[in-house]
């Protein structure tokens, strides 16, 4: 009985010689070092390509938008500073002319009173 089992196992596990091109294929694959990509991964890469494109495009658009907004804000800041400076210049000159007028009034009044004194009024 045991002999029968043993002989069956031997028959099942008998050495089988590889096919003639096996060693050639194996060597070629080792030299190339590029194992064939499995099908599912290839499918993933193909679907990721549009996603990467959209990501790049979105990033570029965001960057352009950010630069545009920053420039607009800078322009607004400059305009505000310019208008403020303009207001200050006008205010400063208005105050100066007002005080000059005050001096003028005093000079005029003094001249009038001196003229009155001379004429004996």
Partner 1 sequence: MKKFSLPIFLALLAPALAWAAPNPRLAIPEFAGLAQKATESVTITLDPALLAMAGRFLDGNDPQDAATKEIIKGLRGIYVRSYTFDKDSAYQQADIDAVRAQLAAPGWNRLVETHSRKTRANVDIYIMIDDNQAIGLALIASEPRQFTIVNIIGAIDLDKLHKLEGQFGVPKLDIDLSKTPAQGAQK
Minimum distance from residue 121 beta carbon to partner 1 (Å): 18
Q: Which of residues 80-109 bind partner 1 (CB under 8 A)?
A: 81-83, 85-86, 88-109
Q: What angle do CA 113, 119, 121 make, to 5 degrees?
A: 70
Residue 118 Cβ vs partner 1, minimum distance, rounded to whole Å = 17
* Smaller CB separation from partner 1, 58 or 110: 110
- Show the CA angle centred on residue 67, arms to residues 61 and 70, nearest 5°: 135
Min CB(71)–partner 1 separation in Å: 18
Long-range Cβ contacts of 117-120 (<8 Å, 24+ apart): none
| Cα four-point dihedral sign 55, 57, 62, 63 | positive
- CB contact set of 29 (below 8 Å; sequence gap of 6+): 35
Residue (58 or 113) nearer to partner 1, CB: 113
Two structure tokens written together for 18:
């590889």
Would you count residue 110 as binding partner 1 (CB under 8 A)?
Answer: yes
Which of 59, 78 has the CB closer to partner 1?
Answer: 78
| Residue ranges binding partner 1 (CB under 8 A) | 81-83, 85-86, 88-110
């Amino acid at each position: 009985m045991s002999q029968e089992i043993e002989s069956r196992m031997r028959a099942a596990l008998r050495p089988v010689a590889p096919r003639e091109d096996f060693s050639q294929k194996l060597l070629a694959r080792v030299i190339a070092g590029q194992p064939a990509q499995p099908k599912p991964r290839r499918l993933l890469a193909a679907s990721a390509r549009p996603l990467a494109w959209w990501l790049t495009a979105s990033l570029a658009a965001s960057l352009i938008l950010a630069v545009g907004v920053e420039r607009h804000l800078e322009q607004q800041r400059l305009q505000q500073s310019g208008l403020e400076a303009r207001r200050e210049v006008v205010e400063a000159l208005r105050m100066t002319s007002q005080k000059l007028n005050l001096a003028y009034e005093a000079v005029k009044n003094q001249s009038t009173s001196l003229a009155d004194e001379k004429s004996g009024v």
